[in-house]
A and B are shown apart, each in its own frame.
Chain A
Amino acid sequence: MAKIERAQKLFLKALKEKFAGDVSDVKTEFYNFNDLQQSPRKKEFIEASKKVEKDRGMSMYDPYRCHLGGLPMGQRQLMTYEVSTTGTFVEGDDLHFVNNPAMQQFWDDIRRTIIVSMDLAHNTLQKRLGKEITPETINEYLHILNHAMPGAAVVQEHMVETHPSVVDDCYVKVFTGDSDLADQLEKQFVIDVNKLFPAKQAAELNAAVGKSLWQAIHIPTIVSRTCDGGTTSRWSAMQIGMSFITAYRMCAGEAAVADLSFAAKHAGVIQMASHLPARRARGPNEPGGIQFGHFADMIQTDRTHPNDPAKASLEVVGAGTMLFDQIWLGSYMSGGVGFTQYATAAYTDNILDEYTYYGMDYIKDKYGVDWQNPSPKDKVKPTQEVVNDIAGEVTLNAMEQYEQFPTLMEDHFGGSQRAGVIAAASGLSTAIATGNSNAGLNGWYLSMLMHKEGWSRLGFFGYDLQDQCGSTNSLSVRPDEGCIGEFRGPNYPNYAMNVGHQGEYAAIVGSAHYSRGDGCSLSPLIKITFADPALPFDFSEPRREFAKGATRQFVAKGERTLLMPAK
């Protein structure tokens, strides 16, 4: 283990933008920033609150009275943040999911998605009822389904229906590994694997899917927001059943319909997330049930940037910390509003990016890993010594960067922020070098122990509990204790507690596969479904999308203003 030279400091531009003076200085000025008035966003909040108070006749946002008995924030500089690699500087408030419609849409697009096999239904129609299935009948069925799925009637008289303009994000496409079949289906309904994926990934995915035909279904955003993730399979199954009845002229009450319903609701359904134990009180398609391998497949950067597994992984970190920290642990489980501050550290100011690319330089320099040409061939055997070497060096380098640039430490002012970022870079570097997700997770835990001993601190009261005992479970893969990283998720016993871990774990899992150039991390079906360019949220560039949301340039779906009186 020896430090290597790296000229780039990807975070420097952001630090210079954020902080006046020399970013290497140890000293600065405080208490003279005119408190909240230094922040345009906070000033906007104050003005907005005045209007709200006037309208409703009740007090609201009042930091000059309510914060610390009259002492408002802003005794130090209230920093802006660059959403990493976007060049877009935003205020921290703009990255709270309540203030960011792109973040909401990201989660909406996952929760409202369901993947349903067509093969089981086709078997029922052909073998049980003697119906003929042809590309033409499939096309007709898809026309009907795209009429019905948003909430329109197909069989009965005198039915209520939904307004197309408030459910315009609802649709169904199909995909298959059978290129001949795909060619015979209408282009508007097909997710074209060969066109969307690099050739090697497409070949792997096509082989994995084979001749099966799958429906990628996105129910209306407004439905899943009003109900929950458990609604998605139910809503889709009802419309699928009615569409089959119409397309194949079935009797609405015949017994074979039950087979179609069972296939659409259970047997042929791929949920984006499994339902959670009763104590978590969440159904399927809620964040806590997303396996890390599946989440790594939802993010598409390895498809659009196949030669940069580091970037692909960093996009997973950004998306994952937003979903798992800000929305899942922050709001679903905790109810707090402060989780944003932890999560954003991992996807702002190019800090994690710098530490990770240091790791890339290191594994190339020391182990000859050509990480920009992903392949299983040059991966390093994941021995304990290799894990310790890579994770140890990346950790030491990251700690030294924080020390050498005091403004960098000030940027990540909380220990949990630093811990998550340092360990993520260590885990990603290890996983990319070895192509092994559990080796990456093990690197994470070495990083945590080294960090804690070096600075005699780590995260907050409960944050680092899992990190101090994590070495032991990272390679425990007995069925009654755990499993490999791809199948772990936010509700894995040792991971279910604290902010600043789950998004990074998902990225470590994904990075192992991105570095090998694999077609997917766990599910070819999910990988293909989220490649669809028609989705409102672009899953290949989550951080860019979040930046658009922060600067109020993102147009979300599921809006209902059409139905309300104009103000």
Chain B
Amino acid sequence: MAYTPQYGPGSSVVAENRRKQMNPSISLQKMRDVTDEDIVLILGHRAPGQAYPTAHPPLAEQGEPDCPIRKIVTPTPGAAAGDRVRYIQFADSMFNAPCQPYQRTYTEAYRFRGIDPGTLSGRQIVECRERDLEKYSQELINTNLFDPALTGIRGATVHGHSLRLAEDGMMFDMLQRCKLEGGVVNYVKNQIGEPLDKKVNVGKPQDAAWLKANTTMFHSLVGTSYRSDEEYVEYIKRIHSLRTKYGFMPVE
């Protein structure tokens, strides 16, 4: 019998949003159209138009060893070309940002190949080959995983995910890499905080209703109460109980 992923428990809208984001058979919703060049600017790893720096020769040129695994796994374009491994890192506000750290990691693991995600409380990083990264970043920024005001693209000094919002609705960023100007959010610095020669418009922040309907985090003040999703809470307790009992007496 083929395994059918369930993408997590729960009867709430938060649980449903989590499943939709993770499930690769459901297309992410296109929300904005930040260009390839603008994404390269925000990432800050290379100049637009610059050739991809390499860490090794293209696989086709360097002579691969006779390895059964390599015959099974098709290299990603970045790996085949020998690109460097670079990153994009996000800070997600706890006030209903559409994606959240572990949710990002799970979603990326289901949807992308050749990635190395790292999950913290205030930020989530994903590393991969550079041209793959730029492709994945398109999906991470231009879809419903992203909100211009509540999702920050931050390589360092990420402080802000748990802070109150600024009066204009923006998540705190010590470096103020992006600003709300004329109703849209413009990045004026790249993710590591270096000033950009031109502003990058990432669009208009979503309104509160959309955020509440699309977030993947429980929040009893501005969103959906965790306690109200009884199925979810019971599921966690069941997992914990089973692990505990197996640790005490490892029998089936």
Report A's interface with B, CB cutoff 8 A.
3, 25-31, 68, 71, 75-76, 384, 388, 392, 396, 399-400, 403-404, 406-407, 409-410, 412-416, 418-419, 442, 445-446, 449-450, 452-461, 471-477
Interface status of B248 (Cβ within 8 A of chain A):
yes
Contact A450 B220 (CB under 8 A): no
Are the C-beta atoms of A76 and B120 separated by less than 8 Å? no
Partner of B247 from A76, A396, A459, A471 at Cβ < 8 Å: A471
6 smallest beta-carbon distances between A and B, as pairs: A415-B121, A456-B100, A472-B247, A471-B243, A475-B248, A454-B226
- A28 CB to closest chain B CB (Å) equals 4
Please give, as numbers and ranges, the residues of chain A lying within 8 Å of B118 by CB-CB distance.
Answer: 461
Question: Complex Cα distance A412/B159, Å?
Answer: 12
Binds A, one of B38-46, B128-136, B232-240: B232-240
Interface residue from A407, A410, A442 paired with B244 (Cβ < 8 Å): A442
User: Which of B121, B169, B225 is A416 in contact with, Cβ under 8 Å?
Assistant: B121
Beyond contacts A396-B233, A449-B236, A475-B244: 15 other A-B pairs, Cβ-Cβ < 8 A, are A76-B163, A414-B162, A415-B120, A445-B240, A446-B237, A450-B233, A455-B100, A457-B120, A459-B121, A460-B120, A460-B121, A461-B119, A471-B239, A472-B244, A475-B247
- A526 CA / B246 CA spacing, docked (Å): 35
B174's contact among A71, A399, A455, by CB below 8 Å, is which? Answer: A71
- A450, B94: Cα distance in complex, Å: 16
Q: Which stretch (B23-31, B56-64, B198-206, B211-219) binds chain A? A: B211-219
Q: Is A457 touching B166 in the complex (CB atoms < 8 A)?
A: no
How long is the Cα–Cα vector from A514 to B236 in the complex, in angstroms? Answer: 30
Query: What are some 11 contacts across the A-B interface (CB < 8 A)?
Result: A25-B164, A29-B166, A384-B241, A399-B220, A400-B227, A403-B221, A410-B164, A445-B240, A453-B232, A454-B226, A456-B217
- List, in ascending order, chain B residues with CB within 8 A of A76's CB: 159, 163, 172, 174
Chain B nearest Cβ from A76, distance in angstroms = 6
Let me know if A458 and B244 touch, CB within 8 A: no
User: Could you tell me if B222 and A26 are in contact, using CB atoms closer than 8 angstroms?
Assistant: yes
- Specify the chain A residue showing the minimal Cβ separation from B248: A475
Quick check: A414 and B244 within 8 Å, CB to CB? no
- Pick from A26, A29, A396, A461: contact of B226, CB below 8 A: A396
Given contacts A388-B237, A412-B162, contact A455 B221 (CB under 8 A): no
- For residue B95, CB closer than 8 A to chain A, the reply is yes
Q: How far is the CA of A412 from the CA of B247 in the complex (A)?
A: 32
- A contact residues around B101 at 8 Å (CB): 456-457
- Inter-subunit contact A413/B236 (CB<8 Å): no
Q: Are A455 and B243 in contact (CB under 8 A)?
A: no
Q: How many interface residues does chain B have, given as a range?
A: 35 or more
Query: Given that A456-B101, A459-B120 are contacting pairs, would A30 and B247 also be in contact in the complex, using a CB cutoff of 8 Å?
Result: no
Q: In this complex, which of B102, B245, B246 has the most chain A Cβ atoms within 10 angstroms of its Cβ?
A: B102
Check B227 against A3 for contact (C-beta < 8 Å). Answer: yes
Most chain B beta-carbon contacts within 10 A, residue among A31, A76, A407, A456: A456
CA distance in complex: A410, B165 (Å): 10
Roughly how many angstroms separate A475 CA and B120 CA in the complex, as a whole number?
27
- Contact status of A457 and B100, CB under 8 A, knowing A399-B226, A471-B240, A474-B247: yes
Known interface pairs A455-B100, A456-B216; A384-B245 also in contact (CB < 8 Å): yes
Q: Does B114 count as interface, using CB distance less than 8 angstroms?
A: no
Mask: chain B, 178-212; 1 = CB below 8 Å from A; 0 = not = 00000000000000010000000000000000000
For B137, the chain A residues whose CB sits under 8 A away are: none
A30 to B164 CA separation, bound complex (whole angstroms): 10
Of B161, B220, B247, the contact of A404 (CB 8 Å cutoff): B220
Does chain A have a CB within 8 A of B151? no
Query: Is the CB–CB distance between A471 and B102 below 8 Å?
Result: no
Q: Once bound together, how far apart are the Cα atoms of A457 and B157, in whole Å?
A: 18
A400 and B220 contact, CB distance less than 8 A: yes
**Contact call A461/B120, Cβ cutoff below 8 A:** yes
List residues of chain A with CB within 8 A of the CB of B221.
26, 403-404, 406
Contact B166 A28 (CB under 8 A): yes
Chain B residues with CB under 8 Å of A472's CB are 243-244, 246-247
Among B94, B164, B237, the most chain A Cβ lie within 10 Å of the Cβ of B164
Chain A residues contacting B172 (CB-CB under 8 Å) are 30, 75-76
- For A27, give its contact among B167, B218, B219 (CB under 8 Å): B167
CB distance from B219 to the nearest CB of A (A): 5
Bound: A459/B123 CA distance, A: 10
Q: Is B80 an interface residue (CB 8 A)?
A: no
Cβ of B121 and Cβ of A414 under 8 Å apart? yes
- Report B-chain residues with C-beta under 8 Å of the C-beta of A459: 120-121
Q: Are A457 and B176 in contact (CB under 8 A)?
A: no
In the bound complex, CA of A412 to CA of B122 (Å): 12
Residues of A within 8 A of B175 (CB): 68, 71
Residues A473 and B247 in contact in the complex (CB < 8 Å), given A68-B175, A449-B239: yes
Whole-angstrom CA separation of A456 from B169 in the bound complex? 22
- How far apart sit A131 and B169, CA to CA, in the bound complex (Å)? 84
Residue of B nearest to A406 (CB): B164
Min CB distance, A434 to chain B, in Å? 14
Interface pair B166/A452, CB less than 8 Å apart: no
Q: Inside 8 A of A404's CB, which chain B residues have their CB?
A: 220-221
Q: Enumerate chain B residues within 8 angstroms of A413, measured Cβ to Cβ.
A: 122, 159, 162-163
- What's the nearest-Cβ distance from chain A to residue B140, in Å? 16
A52–chain B nearest beta-carbon distance, Å = 27
Closest to B174 in A: A75
C-alpha spacing A452/B244, complex, angstroms: 18
A384 and B244 contacting across the interface, CB-CB below 8 Å: yes
Q: Which residues of A contact B95 (CB under 8 A)?
A: 26
Contact B237–A392 (Cβ < 8 Å): yes
Contact among B161, B240, B243, B247 for A388, CB-based, below 8 A: B240
Known: A71-B174, A392-B237. A454 touches B218 (CB 8 A): yes
| Residues on the A chain within 8 Å of B247, using CB | 471-476
Tell me how far the C-beta of A413 lies from the nearest C-beta in chain B, rounded to whole angstroms.
Answer: 5
What are the residues of chain A within 8 A of B216 when measuring CB–CB?
456
Which residues of the other chain, B, contact A392 by a CB distance below 8 angstroms? 233, 237
B103 is an interface residue with CB less than 8 A from chain A: yes
A404–B225 Cα distance when bound, in Å, is: 11
Query: By CB atoms of chain B within 10 A, which of A416, A472, A474 has the most?
Result: A472
